[in-house]
Amino acid sequence: MANIVEFSNDRHRMAVIGLWKEVFGYQTAHNAPSLAIDKKLAVADGLFFVALAGTEVIGTVLAGYDGHRGWLYSVAVHPAHRRHGVGAALVRRAEHALVAAGCVKINLQIIESNEGVTPFYEALGYITEPRISMGKKIDSNVPPPV
């Protein structure tokens, strides 16, 4: 079984960047893995976890708590390690930290084209809610590509 630990920039950064590129493959600048990691570390809330098999990073979850809702992001397990409970363990770890922070409700978003992942979250007690998700990019906070 995987060991779930807090993300360490020294030990896990390169592996997490590689995993996210493989699993999510985001092409947009605001989703660049290195930017996401730097922004999360700047908040220093202790809500970024990795799953380890030995010392190998095989999964991630990034959570957030704003005092009103908890959020889950970047739930990812390396394809070679799926269906062994790693994803569930990551979500449970993040939930534990959010509950400890006083959070009363946890939300997450699923990209429409990734609807097939809903049974994973349903197995963990999440339900689909009737919401329209909206967002706005703040380009001035996204560094230009190097």
Binders of ligand COA among residues 77 to 96 (CB under 6 A) are 77, 82-88
Q: Using CA atoms, how far apart are residues 63 and 106, in angstroms rounded to an integer?
A: 9
Strands (E), 39-135: 48-53, 56-65, 70-77, 106-108
The tokens for 105 are 């409700």
- Give the x/- contact pattern for ligand COA in 105-144, rule: CB under 6 A: -----x---x--x-xx--x---------------------
- Give the x/- contact pattern for ligand COA in 17-56, rule: CB under 6 A: ------x---------------------------------
Q: Using CA atoms, how far apart are residues 77 and 106, in angstroms rounded to an integer?
A: 20
| Closer residue to ligand COA in complex, CB, 53/142 | 53
